[in-house]
Amino acid sequence: MTLGPRLIPPTFNTLPSQDPHRVVGFLVPEKLTVNVDAVGFGVDPDGDGARAVGLDAEALERLGFRGAIGDVLLVARDSGPVQIAVGVGPVDERSPGALRDAAAAFARAAARFSRLALDLGVAFALPPRVIGQMIAEGATLARYRYTVLQPSSTDVPLVSVDIVTAPKDAEETLAGIAVAAATSRAAMITRDLSNAPPGHLTATNLADAAVRLGELFDLEVEVFDLDALIELGCGGLLGVNAGSAEEPRMIRITYSPQHPEHHVALVGKGITYDAGGISLKPSDAMHLLMKMDMAGAAAVLGAMTGLGALGCRSAVTGYLMCTDNVPSGTAIGLGDVLTIRGGTTVEIKNTDAEGRLVMADALVLAAEQRPDAILDIATLTGSALQTLGPRVAAVFGNNQAIVDQLIAAAERVDEPIWQLPLEHRYRRQLDSTYADIANMGGPFNVAITAALFLNEFVGDIPWGHLDIAGTMQSERDESWRSTGATGFGARLLLDALVAFEPVRT
């Protein structure tokens, strides 16, 4: 795994504006810096700020520029940097998320350039720290490309962005940029891992990447091989792995701040390639995406790299449950019964419902530690995609306060989630004649029965479950979401962990 480039984010600087009370976007370009290829100026729907790019409101309108968030217009000059009009939208829509989107649109419009400057912040009545974070996140994430396997790629890397700000706000703006360095890196590491082809990212490779990242970010990483998993009694992970030529791995990652205030456990599904096992998936476009069936584990690993930088006061233990799920003469079959750690037996009614099996072992291990909460994340069910589409993930939980904390974090990072009911009247669908529980319910409400299955293994620990099957990838560039793996969940979990508050059961 090549993760190096993602560990060194672009350089972000602040530049003092000549007049902190100026009209939005009014700044003479040559006063920015001599080493900038493109300069972005905020322009609103009324055309305020248009003169910064040498045009008036009428000219911008003729050229199709409306000033909405996401609108951009490049204006070339005979010399000096290219000037880009960047829509800032109407005043009542200028939220932190809108600023992130505007910065992303600018960075995409300037995709041929490596050194940029941006004058947007004064249009947004937001704290300087928020302005710095939103601009840095939007620009960095929008310019992401997975080019590890394209040595001839012509993509231009983003090297630096100068953010224009009032001198008095420079320090706080830089503080926000520092936060963005951690959050963006977490998301891009997650994207790198999720985009990697299955032949390049086996369970063993993923464990090696975790060890390397642990060394870089002061995390304790323990890798459990086949023999260790047998000793632990992790029958779910071992059963799913039975058809594979590759050994499974459980990766336990521990973040330990001084004098931790709380303890949170994370569980991530790490199926490095999901062919469906004996319940073989149809050969359609979905097969191409099954290299991303480890996006939950990647999100846990990515999130944990940012905990130290953001000063998380909770101890965090992450479990990454890693294997592929392929058919062979040794693979588990329908009707087989597996024994999860702790002794619960599971009848296999569908080998393509494997994620919940590997996660069950980890949920039991996590619950044995008696943490204040358990959070899990998984590309678990197509039902979540069918229900909420590709932009919204499903969230379930046995404790409303935990679910509310996840929803609040999702809103802050603009990774939308929607609560679905943990409807216990559907639990009977998981009844088995031959085991304690079956791994599959009926043909409907699959996301709910999958969550009910996981709920069986957390005991009385407050628990939240994110089903990110729909949000794991994007078919096209959209705002700060780049084509391919989105890294969904890494920034959400990181935000939730930093802000975590224990709840009463």
Residue 247: DSSP 8-state: P
CB 422 within 8 A of CB 396: yes
Span 265-278, pLDDT tens digits: 999 999 999 999 99
Query: What pLDDT was estimated at residue 31?
Result: 47
Percent of the chain with pLDDT over 70: 93
In the structure, what pLDDT confidence band is assigned to residue 402 with cuts at 50, 70 and 90? very high
Using DSSP, state whether 378 is helix, strand or coil. strand
Ranges of beta strands (E only) in 359-451 are 373-378, 393-397, 417-419, 437-438
CA 27 to chain centre: 36
Nearest to 394 by CA among 344, 339, 450, 312: 450
User: Residue 337: is its pLDDT beyond 90?
Assistant: yes
Catalytic residue, from 108, 356, 481, 491: name it. Answer: 356
In the structure, what pLDDT confidence band is assigned to residue 30 with cuts at 50, 70 and 90? very low
Q: Tell me the average pLDDT of the chain.
A: 91
Nearest to 355 by CA among 473, 265, 236: 236
Span 189-200, pLDDT tens digits: 999 999 999 999
Span 144-157, pLDDT tens digits: 999 888 888 888 98
CB 272 within 8 A of CB 206: yes
Span 462-472, pLDDT tens digits: 999 999 999 99
User: Residue 29: is its pLDDT beyond 50?
Assistant: no
Query: What pLDDT was estimated at residue 35?
Result: 77
Burial per residue of 153-176, b for 16 or more beta-carbon CB atoms within 10 angstroms, e otherwise:
eeeeebebbbbbbbeebbebbbeb
The owner of tokens 């970010």 is 217
Span 309-330, pLDDT tens digits: 999 999 999 999 999 999 999 9
CA dihedral sign of residues 134, 140, 141, 142: positive
Strand partners, 377: 268, 466
CB atoms within 10 A of CB 425: 9
CA–CA gap between residue 374 and residue 354 (Å, rounded): 20
Percent of the chain with pLDDT over 90: 76
Structure tokens of 462? 């407050």
CA–CA gap between residue 44 and residue 17 (Å, rounded): 19
31 given a catalytic annotation: no
Query: What pLDDT was estimated at residue 4?
Result: 53
CB 296 within 8 A of CB 489: yes
User: Residue 14: is its pLDDT beyond 70?
Assistant: yes
For 171, residues 6+ apart whose C-beta sits below 8 A from its C-beta are none
Between 31 and 192, residue with greater pLDDT = 192
CA–CA gap between residue 307 and residue 216 (Å, rounded): 12
Span 50-109, pLDDT tens digits: 787 878 888 888 888 998 999 999 987 777 889 999 999 999 999 999 999 999 999 999
CB 356 within 8 A of CB 232: no
Going along the chain from its start, the domains and CATH numbers come out as 4-187 (3.40.220.10), 196-498 (3.40.630.10)
Catalytic residue, from 66, 281, 313, 412: name it. Answer: 281
For 446, residues 6+ apart whose C-beta sits below 8 A from its C-beta are 381, 382, 383
Instruction: Report the first-to-last Cα separation within the chain, whole angstroms.
Output: 41
269 given a catalytic annotation: no
Burial per residue of 478-498, b for 16 or more beta-carbon CB atoms within 10 angstroms, e otherwise:
bbbbbebbbbbbbbbbbbbbb
Query: What pLDDT was estimated at residue 171?
Result: 92
3-state helix, strand, coil in the chain (%, to 5): 35, 20, 40
